[in-house]
C-alpha cells in the first residue's frame, strides 16, 4: 500500500507542471457554462497527448468529453469541471477587489483547479496501469456547466455513466476533508409572465401588469416558507422587471427560482406548489405564465466504502509543506474576507474540530493544513449528485485557499491560480489516483462499494428530474 502510494504520488509529481499549467490557462479562459470551448479543447489535447482516447460532444453538450484509456472492467470514472461564474472576475493573487478589465467571468469556485486535478489523477492512474500491465478502464469525464445548469444530469440521463463501477470527484475548499453528507437537490425554474402594456396614468385600467404578477408570486412563495420542511431552500432572482419606465404597464416580466431540498422528490413537491402560486399570481393579475425548468441537480448518495479509501490516502498527503512566502500569501487573504465570514469562522472550525486543543491549534491559522474529520458543513448542491444515483460515488476537498474564503467570491477567484491552489491540486490528484487504483485492482472492494450503495439507495432508483426531452441550452 505504502509503496504503491509513493509510486503513484511520484507519477503525479512527474507531470504536475502540465496540470498546473492547465489549471492556470483555464483560469484565464474563465468560460461560463456550456461555453467552455477553450477549456475543454485544452484538456482534450493534453489527454490525447498522454495516450487517452477522447469522445467529444455528449448529450447535446458540445464541451463535454470523455478521455478513456485501457479496456475491460472495472471502469473507474474521475470527474472534472471547468466552468466559470458570472460577476466574479478578479485579478489573480490580488487581495483588493479588482475585476480584470473587460472580463465578467471568474473562477470563483475554483473549477479550473478541479478539472486539472481530476485529469491529472486519471493520467497518473493510466501511467501506473501501463507500467504494471494492469487490466481495467480509466476515464476522465470532462463535465461542463456544473454551475447553474447541472451538466452532469444530462450525461447521466443519456447513459454515459451506465457502465461505470466507481466515480470519484473533489472540490476546492479551505479544508482537506472527505466530503460525506448529501448535497441538496436543486431545480432551476423560469417563470415568465405575459400581460398587456398600457399608459400607466392615461389608461391603467387597460393594462395587465406582468411585474405585478412576479411581485405577487414572490409574496406568495415567501408565505409558503412557513409551511415547508425546514431543510428546504427557496431563492429567486428577478431577471426581467419589464423595463425601466414606471409610466408603462409592464407586459413581460420574468423571475428565476432555485428550489432546493434534501431529496429530489421533496423538490418536485415544492415545485408543484410554487407552480400553483405562479398560476395564482397570473389569475390575480389576469396575465399568463409560462413555466420552464432548465436544470435539475439530484441530492448526493455518498459512499462510505470509497470515502474510507480516499480518507486514508488524503491523510498520507497532508500536512503539505508550504514555504514562508506561501504562508504569507494565504495570510494576506485571511485579512480580506468579509466581517460576517470572519465572525463565522470559529464556529465553522469548531464544527470541524470539536476537540478544544485541535481548535486552539488551528484557529487563526493562515492555511488549514490538516485533514478535517468528515463533517457535514454548508449544504450546497452539485450535479455530482446525479452521478451518485447511478454509480457508487465519493468526493473529497483539499485546501486550495485561505481559511474563511467563501466559494463564489472574488477572493476565491484571486487565489484559484495561486500557490496554495496549485498544491491543493496536487494533493487532490494524488489522493484520487491512489483511491482509483485501490478499486482498479480489487474486485472485492468494488463489490463492497456497490453493496453499500445498494443499501444506501434503499430501493430507490434515479428520479431523473430533468423535464422529458429537455436539451441543454445557454440561458
Ligand atoms: Zn463548484
How far is ligand 1, taken at its centre, from the CA of residue 201, in Å? 48
3-state secondary structure of 47: helix
- Residue 463, domain member (yes or no): no
Domain end: 245, 274, 297, which one? Answer: 297
Distance 86 CA to ligand 1 centre (A): 13
- 382 alpha carbon – ligand 1 mean position (Å): 7
Between the CA of 309 and the centroid of ligand 1 the distance, in Å, is 23
Residue 435 belongs to some domain of the structure: yes
Cα-to-centroid distance, 85 and ligand 1 (Å): 9
- CA 147 / ligand 1 centre spacing (Å): 7
The terminus-to-terminus CA distance of the chain in angstroms comes to 48
Whether 345 is in a domain gets the answer: yes
Write down the pLDDT at residue 380.
83
Residue 319 CA to ligand 1 center (angstroms) comes to 24
pLDDT at 376: 67
Residue 274 sits in the same domain as residue 350: no
Q: What is the gyration radius of the CA atoms in the chain, in angstroms?
A: 23
Residue where a domain stops, chosen among 274, 297, 320: 297
Q: Are 46 and 153 members of one domain?
A: yes
468 within domain boundaries: no
Distance 441 CA to ligand 1 centre (A): 30
Listed residues 256, 273, 297: the one ending a domain:
297
For residue 81, the CA-to-ligand 1 centroid distance in Å is 8
Ligand 1 center to 113 CA (angstroms): 10
Assess whether 306 and 282 both reside in one domain: no
CA 29/CA 116 separation, integer angstroms: 14
Could you tell me which residues are beta bridge partners of residue 171? 397
CA of 383 to the centre of ligand 1 (A): 10
Q: Which residues contact 240 (CB under 8 A, 6 or more apart)?
A: 192, 252, 253, 254
DSSP state of 204: G
Whether residue 65 sits in one domain with residue 145: yes
Number of residues that make up the chain: 475
Q: Are residues 112 and 204 in the same domain?
A: no
Residue 453's pLDDT is 98
What CATH number does residue 195 fall under?
A: 3.30.70.360
Shared-domain flag, residues 170 and 260: no
- Ligand 1 center to residue 406 CA distance, Å? 11
Claim to verify: residue 171 and residue 219 sit in the same structural domain = no
If you measure from the C-alpha of residue 471 to the centroid of ligand 1, how many angstroms do you get, rounded to a whole number?
A: 22
Distance 88 CA to ligand 1 centre (A): 13
- 289 and 350 share a domain? no
Domain interval for residue 268: 185-297
Domain shared by 380 and 240, yes or no: no
Judge whether 373 and 396 are in contact, CB under 8 Å: no
Task: Single out the residue of 223, 242, 243, 225 nearest to residue 234, CA to CA.
Answer: 225
User: Does residue 262 lie within any of the structural domains?
Assistant: yes
Tell me, in angstroms, the distance from the centre of ligand 1 to residue 301's CA. Answer: 18
Q: Is the residue at 464 inside a domain?
A: no
Q: For the domain that residue 394 is a member of, what is the CATH number? A: 3.40.630.10
SS3 state of residue 166: strand
- Residue recorded with cell 451506465: 162
Q: Which residues of the chain have pLDDT under 50?
A: none
469 falls within a domain: no
**How far does the centroid of ligand 1 lie from the alpha carbon of residue 248, in Å?**
41
Does one domain contain both 115 and 156?
yes
Number of domains in the chain: 2
415 CA from centroid of ligand 1 (Å): 14
User: Which residues lie closer than 8 Å to 142 by C-beta, 6 or more apart?
Assistant: 40, 43, 44, 63, 64, 65, 66, 67, 80, 82, 115, 119
73, 137: one domain:
yes
Do 290 and 417 share a domain, yes or no?
no
- How many whole angstroms separate alpha carbon 66 and alpha carbon 143? 9
In the reported structure, the alpha carbon of residue 146 is separated from the centroid of ligand 1 by a whole-number distance in angstroms of 7
| 147-184 residue pLDDT tens | 989 999 999 999 999 999 999 999 999 999 998 877 89
Amino acid at each position: 500500500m505504502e509503496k504503491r502510494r509513493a509510486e503513484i504520488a511520484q507519477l503525479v509529481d512527474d507531470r504536475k507542471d502540465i496540470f498546473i499549467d492547465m489549471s492556470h490557462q483555464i483560469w484565464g479562459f474563465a468560460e461560463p457554462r456550456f461555453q467552455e470551448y477553450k477549456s475543454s479543447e485544452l484538456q482534450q489535447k493534453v489527454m490525447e497527448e498522454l495516450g487517452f482516447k477522447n469522445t467529444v460532444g455528449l448529450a447535446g453538450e458540445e464541451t463535454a468529453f470523455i478521455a478513456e484509456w485501457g479496456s475491460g472492467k472495472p471502469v473507474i470514472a474521475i470527474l472534472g469541471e471547468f466552468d466559470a461564474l458570472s460577476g466574479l472576475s478578479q485579478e489573480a493573487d490580488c487581495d483588493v477587489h479588482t475585476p480584470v478589465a473587460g472580463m465578467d467571468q471568474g473562477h470563483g469556485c475554483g473549477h479550473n483547479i478541479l478539472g486539472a486535478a481530476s485529469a491529472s489523477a486519471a493520467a497518473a492512474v493510466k501511467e501506473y496501469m501501463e507500467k504494471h500491465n494492469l487490466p481495467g478502464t480509466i476515464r476522465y469525464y470532462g463535465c461542463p456547466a456544473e454551475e447553474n445548469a447541472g451538466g452532469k444530469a444530462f450525461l447521466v440521463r443519456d447513459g454515459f455513466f451506465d457502465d461505470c463501477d466507481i466515480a470519484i470527484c473533489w472540490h476546492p475548499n479551505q479544508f482537506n476533508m472527505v466530503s460525506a453528507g448529501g448535497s441538496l437537490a436543486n431545480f432551476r425554474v423560469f417563470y415568465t409572465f405575459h400581460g398587456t402594456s398600457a399608459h400607466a396614468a392615461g389608461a391603467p385600467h387597460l393594462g395587465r401588469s406582468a411585474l405585478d404578477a412576479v411581485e405577487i408570486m414572490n409574496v406568495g412563495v415567501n408565505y409558503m416558507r412557513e409551511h415547508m420542511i425546514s431543510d428546504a431552500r427557496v431563492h429567486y432572482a428577478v431577471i426581467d422587471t419589464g423595463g425601466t419606465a414606471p409610466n408603462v404597464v409592464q407586459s413581460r416580466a420574468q423571475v428565476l427560482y432555485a428550489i432546493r431540498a434534501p431529496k429530489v422528490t421533496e423538490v418536485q413537491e415544492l415545485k408543484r406548489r410554487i407552480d400553483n402560486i405562479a398560476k395564482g399570481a397570473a389569475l390575480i393579475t389576469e396575465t399568463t405564465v409560462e413555466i420552464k425548468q432548465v436544470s435539475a441537480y439530484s441530492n448526493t448518495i455518498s459512499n462510505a466504502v470509497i470515502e474510507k479509501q480516499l480518507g486514508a490516502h488524503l491523510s498520507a498527503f497532508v500536512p503539505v509543506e508550504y514555504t514562508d512566502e506561501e504562508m504569507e500569501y494565504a495570510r494576506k487573504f485571511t485579512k480580506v474576507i468579509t466581517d460576517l465570514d470572519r465572525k463565522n469562522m470559529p464556529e465553522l472550525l469548531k464544527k470541524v474540530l470539536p476537540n478544544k486543543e485541535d481548535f486552539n491549534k488551528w484557529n487563526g491559522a493562515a492555511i488549514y493544513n490538516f485533514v478535517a474529520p468528515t463533517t457535514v458543513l454548508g449544504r450546497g448542491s452539485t450535479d455530482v449528485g446525479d452521478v451518485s444515483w447511478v454509480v457508487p460515488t465519493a468526493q473529497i476537498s483539499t485546501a486550495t485557499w485561505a481559511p474563511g474564503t467563501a466559494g463564489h467570491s472574488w477572493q476565491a477567484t484571486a487565489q484559484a491560480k495561486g500557490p496554495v491552489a496549485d498544491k491543493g491540486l496536487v494533493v487532490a490528484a494524488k489522493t484520487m489516483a491512489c483511491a482509483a487504483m485501490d478499486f482498479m485492482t480489487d474486485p472485492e472492494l468494488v463489490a463492497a462499494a456497490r453493496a453499500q450503495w445498494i443499501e444506501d439507495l434503499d430501493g430507490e432508483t434515479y428520479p431523473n428530474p430533468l423535464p422529458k426531452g429537455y436539451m441543454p441550452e445557454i440561458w
